[in-house]
Amino acid sequence: MEDNADLIGGVGGDRLGGVIDSLVTRGYAVSPGYFPPSLVRALRKETMERDQRGEFRLAGIGRRQDHQKDTRVRSDRTCWLKGDSLAQCRLLDAMETLRLEVNRTLFMGLFDLESHFAIYGPGDYYQRHLDAFNGNNGRLLSVVLYLNEGWQSEWGGRLRIWPEPDAMRVVTEVEPRAGTLVVFLSEKIPHEVLAATRERYSIAGWFRCNNTTADWLDPPR
Ligand code: OGA
Ligand code: MN
């Protein structure tokens, strides 16, 4: 049943309009059930298989020359998505639909997407941060998709969101439930991943602008 429902209107379907509206009014959007169970299941399976094959690495902060591994800031493990499975292709397809709609309605000029699988083990966290500042990495719009079926509130692992860079008061906390999509402006919305008592699976991605100039070919990451 649920798998048939997935096929109607494509991934996201009628939820896309709501995501765009919320982005405009709040700078972030939370959309439970944006991704169908069958796709989420396939992506979770792939995450676990890649982990077993040793494809995950301790996540870093910053890009290239200033790339550091600092477990005081974050302690999750990640593996970059390269579009080399059917499930990844379906996901990237849905992201492309989102990219085109955001560009069409909000003129954000989103150019490409870099994304990774992430595993937070029990006790892992990612302290409050912005995904971009002053255009340092070209990231404009952040997306997070959760892959945890049957997630219980008491396991923790919520994504905490503040409404603007200097805000003191949290506006919302999102449970990392299977199929939920979170989208937010990379330079404007601070967020934090709280520690969980179970393994927590997600995919995080960033739509970037094109920083290529005549003497600088912008690499994807
Ligand atoms: C990130 C991030 C949020 C999450 O990877 O930059 O903030 O809920 N992830 O996994
Ligand atoms: Mn982040």
Q: How far apart are CA 208 and CA 221, in angstroms?
A: 10
User: What's the predicted TM-score (pTM) here?
Assistant: 0.91
pLDDT score of 7: 45
| For the CA of 192, the nearest atom of ligand 1 | 7
Q: What residue's CA is closest to ligand 1, atom 5?
A: 204
Three-state SS for 126?
Answer: strand
pLDDT score of 87: 97
pLDDT digits (tens, 9 = 90+) for 5-41: 444 457 777 899 999 999 999 999 999 999 999 999 9
User: Does the structure show a pLDDT above 60 at 65?
Assistant: no
Q: What residue's CA is closest to ligand 1, atom 6?
A: 131
Q: What residue's CA is closest to ligand 1, atom 9?
A: 204
User: Does the structure show a pLDDT above 70 at 213?
Assistant: no
Mean pLDDT on 101-108: 96
| For the CA of 157, the nearest atom of ligand 1 | 8
Q: Please, which residues have CB within 8 angstroms of residue 164's CB and are 6 or more apart in sequence?
A: 27, 188, 189, 190
Instruction: With beta carbons less than 8 A apart as the criterion, state whether 217 and 112 touch.
Output: no
The number of beta carbons lying within 10 Å of the beta carbon of residue 43 is 23
Mean pLDDT on 111-140: 94
Cα of 131 vs centre of ligand 1, distance in Å, is: 9
**Which domains does the chain possess?**
4-61+86-208 (2.60.120.620)
Q: Of 2-16, 65-79, 180-194, where does mean pLDDT reach its minimum?
A: 2-16
